[in-house]
């Protein structure tokens, strides 16, 4: 007898062999009616089977293995597991495989246990969901409550675990956790503020090596005639106002930084013989600065050193706002007082806002050296006849004095004709020839500068007027647009001929006075805000590759951009001559420091 199933499984034929003709005879043919299953039914069936089958097989294996007590080989395991799995106990009937025995074995061993496990699993899930809901409810209650001040908080997590056993309710435990987290957040916040404060003081201080350099060079000025020699030499004085040359203006009291700026400009220039540097410093640094450039010439470039005390027109009597900036009680308290209490710390003060407040209170912002750039047309048309009288010529013979007097008179006549200068901060390094800056057409504008509103970083290159001014003040809101793009100081090309036709300086003074009257409520940060107002409408944007900023702020500056930039600017607290400068960015600055110089070596600078 044989069974034949049709390919479609819709009919079953039972046949028997016919002995007479050697064929098969059909005894019975059964047709099965077709069944149609919907996709939803099929999906649910597959889902149920996918969930149940793993339990069936795992439990079957476990039940079977329970009867294998002493089995040390796979062969033994197969002999014991096979009959158990097939629901048989007689090994002699291996060839007979009734399907009913297999089904009965599965039903007898697996289904009761499966149902029991499913019930337990569902109960555990329900219990877990209820537990989570209760815990979330407790957390919401604790979140709206304050931690009692009398609650004694554990000093560590280990102490909390040891004390929580049979001691605290769930709510008390949650409150204790909240108190510990709040305490940790306060401690972290205070440590960050302390770090920012220490960094602020470190950035404002003068490093020991740089102070040593200034003292030694000042002493050299008084004892060495070569350190007092005239800068530049008399025959080069007419070149100080020659428009065919490239004139740079540098205002600083940092001798080492000034040397790096000058050295980098000369070494990067394709025509160093066309470079003229006008270095402006204060009275206390003048002798040391003069000594440095007198003893370390940068030929063929020309360097002259001037002190603010030599500008007889730059007095408090002529410009009253200078006296207000330097002597006003509110100003001095703001810049020289307690910077922590003055920052008005609160629970909502962020570390970034605190850092901005500290930066705004740097004493350098009331230094006249920081404001001198607004007087460039006057500085470069200064009456040199009076400057000769104020200059230290005690060791010069009378003939040389009259020779210098003649040249100073010539220079006085030529300075008003100087057209363009590039103003540099002392924390920049020049890496490319800057002579093409003089060929840029400023289109009648005064100031060629890099705009700082088109970058991605939030520290430097995403600045607009709203970042510098208080637009809740009625004068600021009335006169300025918060979305107007800001620009950068540090490397600017100034058209002095166009500048002299404007009222930029008077605008600068008037807004400084207004801010003083408002007790510094219009803006806080330094000299850039009043310059943004004074130069409004007089700025021509130049390509950002000329001036890369932020090397004193950002530890993750793009090194490829640093290498390609014409001028890199270490604006920010992490100056390269300070210990807190970024180590991977420092070499771009130190490569222009002459470590073979006796003064630098004896002062152990950056060692």
CA distances from 474 to 465, 478, 511, 577, 584 (A): 15, 6, 13, 42, 45
Select the highest-mean-pLDDT range: 175-184, 386-395, 405-414.
Answer: 175-184
Tens of pLDDT along 475-532? 999 999 999 999 999 999 999 999 989 999 889 988 988 888 888 789 876 789 999 9
- Show the tokens assigned to 531: 């310059």
Whether pTM exceeds 0.85: no
SS3 491: strand
Distance, in Å, from the CA atom of 170 to the CA atom of 147, rounded to the nearest integer, reads 14
Radius of gyration of the chain (CA): 43
Rounded-to-integer distance, Cα 587 and Cα 592, Å? 9
Q: What is the mean pLDDT of residues 238-242?
A: 90
Helix (H, G, I), strand (E, B) or coil at 125: helix
Can you give the pLDDT at residue 19?
Answer: 47
What mean pLDDT is predicted for residues 337-357? 63
Please choose, from the candidates 600, 235, 273, the residue with its C-alpha nearest in 3D space to the C-alpha of residue 433.
273
User: Does the structure show a pLDDT above 80 at 236?
Assistant: yes
Cα 424 to Cα 373: distance, rounded to the nearest angstrom: 10
CA distances from 183 to 180, 374, 569 (A): 5, 49, 40
Give the C-alpha separation, 462 to 484, whole Å: 11
Mean pLDDT of the chain: 76
Under a CB-based contact definition with an 8 Å cutoff, are residues 314 and 280 in contact?
no
Tell which wins on pLDDT, 180 or 68.
180
51 pLDDT band (50/70/90 cuts)? low
| CA dist 300 → 263, 288, 558 (Å) | 12, 22, 34
Confidence of residue 586 (pLDDT cuts 50, 70, 90): very high
Name the residue with tokens 């490829």: 560
- Which residues make Cβ contacts (< 8 Å) with residue 378, sequence separation at least 6? 311, 313, 314, 505
Question: Per residue in 33-44, is it b (16+ CB within 10 Å) or e — as a string?
Answer: eeeeeeeeeeee
Residue for token pair 């059909």: 26
Percent of the chain exceeding pLDDT 90 equals: 38
How confident is the model over 295-327, as pLDDT tens digits? Answer: 999 999 999 999 988 877 666 655 655 655 555
Q: Tokens representing 176?
A: 């204790």
Q: How far apart are CA 40 and CA 558, in angstroms?
A: 58
According to DSSP, the β-strands at 246-251 and 2-5 are unpaired
DSSP-assigned letters across all residues of 331-376: HHHHHHS-HHHHTT--TT--HHHHHHHHHHT-GGGG-HHHHGGGGH
- Which segments of 380-494 does DSSP mark as H helices, in order? 384-390, 398-414, 474-479
Q: CB–CB of 547/524 below 8 Å? A: no
3-state secondary structure of 292: helix
Whether the pLDDT of residue 226 is over 90: the answer is: yes
What is the spatial distance between Cα 328 and Cα 513, in angstroms, rounded to a whole number?
11
Q: Pick the range with the lowest mean pLDDT from 98-107, 198-207, 479-488, 549-558.
A: 98-107
H-helix or E-strand spanning residue 420: strand 420-424
Distance CA 286, CA 224 (A): 15
Residue range 216-226: mean pLDDT, rounded? 96
Query: Helix, strand, or coil here: 11?
Result: strand
pLDDT range class, residue 374, cuts 50, 70, 90: confident
Per-residue pLDDT at 297: 95
Strand partners of residue 327: none
Write the burial class of residue 455 (CB in 10 Å: 0-12 exposed, 13-18 middle, 19+ buried).
middle
Reference 494, options 319, 365, 374, 369; nearest CA is 374
Q: Is 606 left (phi over 0), alpha (psi -120 to 50) or beta?
A: left
| Confidence grade of residue 143 (pLDDT, cut at 50, 70, 90) | confident
Q: Classify 247 as helix, strand or coil.
A: strand
Confidence of residue 431 (pLDDT cuts 50, 70, 90): very high
Residue 66 host element (H or E): helix 39-66
Is the per-residue pLDDT at 400 higher than 70? no
Judge contact between 495 and 540, C-beta under 8 A.
no
Query: pLDDT of 164-214, one tens digit each?
Result: 766 667 777 778 888 888 888 888 888 888 888 888 778 778 899 999 999
The position carrying tokens 């304050």 is 146
- In angstroms, rounded to a whole number, what is the distance separating the alpha carbons of residues 604 and 607? 6
């Amino acid at each position: 007898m044989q069974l034949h199933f049709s390919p479609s499984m819709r009919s079953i034929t039972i046949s028997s062999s016919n002995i007479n003709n050697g064929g098969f005879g059909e005894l019975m043919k059964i047709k099965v009616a077709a069944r149609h299953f919907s996709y939803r039914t099929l999906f649910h069936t597959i889902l149920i089977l996918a969930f149940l089958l793993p339990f069936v097989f795992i439990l079957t294996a476990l039940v079977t293995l329970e009867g294998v007590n002493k089995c040390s080989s796979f062969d033994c395991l197969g002999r014991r597991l096979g009959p158990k799995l097939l629901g048989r106990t007689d090994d002699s009937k291996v060839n007979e495989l009734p399907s009913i025995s297999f089904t009965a074995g599965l039903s007898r061993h697996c289904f009761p246990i499966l149902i029991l496990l499913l019930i337990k699993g569902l109960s555990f899930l329900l219990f877990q969901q209820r537990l989570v809901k209760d815990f979330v409810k407790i957390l919401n209650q604790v979140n709206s409550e304050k931690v009692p001040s009398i609650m004694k908080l554990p000093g560590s997590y280990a102490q909390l675990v040891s004390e929580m056993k049979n001691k605290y309710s769930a709510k008390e435990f949650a409150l204790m956790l909240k108190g510990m987290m709040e305490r940790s957040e306060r401690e972290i916040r205070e440590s960050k503020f302390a770090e920012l404060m220490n960094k602020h003081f470190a950035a404002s201080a003068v490093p020991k090596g740089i102070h040593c350099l200034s003292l030694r060079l000042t002493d050299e000025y008084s004892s060495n005639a070569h350190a007092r020699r005239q800068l530049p030499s008399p025959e080069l004085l007419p070149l100080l106002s020659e428009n065919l040359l490239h004139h740079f203006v540098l205002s600083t009291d940092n001798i080492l930084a000034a040397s790096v700026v000058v050295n980098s400009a000369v070494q990067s220039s394709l025509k160093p013989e066309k470079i003229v540097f006008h270095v402006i410093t204060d009275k206390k640094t003048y002798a040391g600065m003069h000594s440095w450039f007198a003893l370390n010439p940068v030929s063929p470039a020309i360097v002259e050193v001037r002190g603010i005390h030599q500008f007889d027109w730059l007095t408090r009597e002529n410009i009253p706002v200078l006296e207000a900036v330097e002597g006003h009680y509110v100003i001095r308290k703001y810049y020289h007082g307690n910077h922590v209490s003055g920052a008005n710390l609160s629970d909502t003060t962020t570390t970034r806002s605190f850092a901005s407040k500290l930066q705004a209170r740097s004493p350098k912002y009331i230094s006249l050296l920081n404001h001198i750039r607004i007087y460039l047309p006057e500085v470069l048309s200064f009456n040199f006849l009076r400057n000769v009288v104020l200059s230290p010529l005690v060791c010069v013979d009378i003939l040389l004095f009259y020779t210098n007097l003649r040249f100073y008179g010539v220079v006085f006549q030529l300075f008003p004709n100087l057209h363009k200068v590039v103003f540099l901060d002392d924390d920049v390094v020049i890496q490319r020839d800057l002579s093409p800056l003089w060929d840029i057409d400023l289109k009648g504008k005064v100031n060629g500068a890099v705009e700082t509103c088109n970058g991605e970083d939030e520290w430097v290159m995403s600045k607009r007027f709203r970042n510098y001014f208080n637009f809740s003040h009625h004068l600021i809101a009335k006169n300025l647009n918060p979305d107007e793009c800001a620009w950068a100081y540090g490397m600017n090309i100034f058209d002095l001929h166009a500048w002299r036709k404007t009222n930029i300086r008077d605008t600068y003074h008037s807004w400084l006075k207004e801010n003083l009257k408002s007790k510094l409520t219009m803006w806080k940060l330094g000299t850039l805000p009043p310059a943004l107002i004074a130069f409004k409408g007089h700025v021509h944007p130049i390509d950002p590759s000329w001036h890369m900023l932020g090397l004193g702020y950002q530890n993750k500056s793009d090194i490829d951009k640093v290498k390609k930039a014409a001028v890199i600017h270490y604006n920010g607290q992490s100056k390269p001559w300070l210990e807190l400068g970024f180590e991977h960015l420092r070499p771009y600055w130190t490569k222009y420091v002459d470590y073979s110089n006796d003064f630098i070596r004896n002062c152990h600078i950056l060692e």
